[in-house]
């Protein structure tokens, strides 16, 4: 397992003992993501969602469609917001859709 993250998020993940590639700028993000894609030992790559924006569309789609390693984008928002004011969205639904390949609609 490998993580490609911005500087602040990388600190927390490094505490787990996970291998972490820290990036400081868009050029470093592109290089780290390409390096992760070629890492034969990594089966799973956790990547900060915002870093994927630094790749061109086709390259980003190729990474997300990869079977080895599997890229898992995660949203890392390092900002405090008052309770009840956090944006509600379909983040978990997007993760499930990526994992299983189609949209699940769950009614509560």
Q: Can you give the CATH number for the domain in which 52 is found?
A: 3.40.50.10580
Residue that the structure tokens 């956090």 belong to: 86
- Would you say residue 79 has pLDDT above 90? no
Q: Is residue 89 part of a domain?
A: no
Report residue 96 CA to chain centroid gap: 14
Rounded to two decimals, the pTM is 0.70
The domain containing residue 39 runs over which residues? 2-79
Span 53-59, mean pLDDT? 89
Count of residues for the chain? 108
* Residue 9 in tokens: 């998020």
Total tally of structural domains belonging to the chain: 1
Which span out of 25-29, 88-92, 103-107 was modeled with the highest average pLDDT? Answer: 25-29
Lowest mean pLDDT among 32-36, 64-68, 73-77: 73-77
Q: Is residue 107 part of a domain?
A: no
């Amino acid at each position: 397992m490998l993580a490609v993250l911005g500087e602040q998020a990388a600190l927390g993940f490094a505490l787990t003992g996970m291998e972490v590639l820290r990036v400081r700028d868009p050029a470093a993000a592109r290089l780290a993501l390409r390096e992760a894609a070629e890492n034969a030992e990594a089966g799973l790559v956790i990547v900060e969602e915002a870093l994927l924006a630094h790749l061109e569309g086709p390259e980003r789609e190729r990474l997300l469609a990869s079977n080895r390693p599997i890229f898992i984008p995660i949203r890392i928002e390092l900002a405090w917001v008052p309770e009840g004011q956090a944006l509600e969205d379909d983040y978990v639904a997007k993760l499930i859709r990526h994992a299983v390949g189609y949209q699940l609609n769950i009614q509560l």
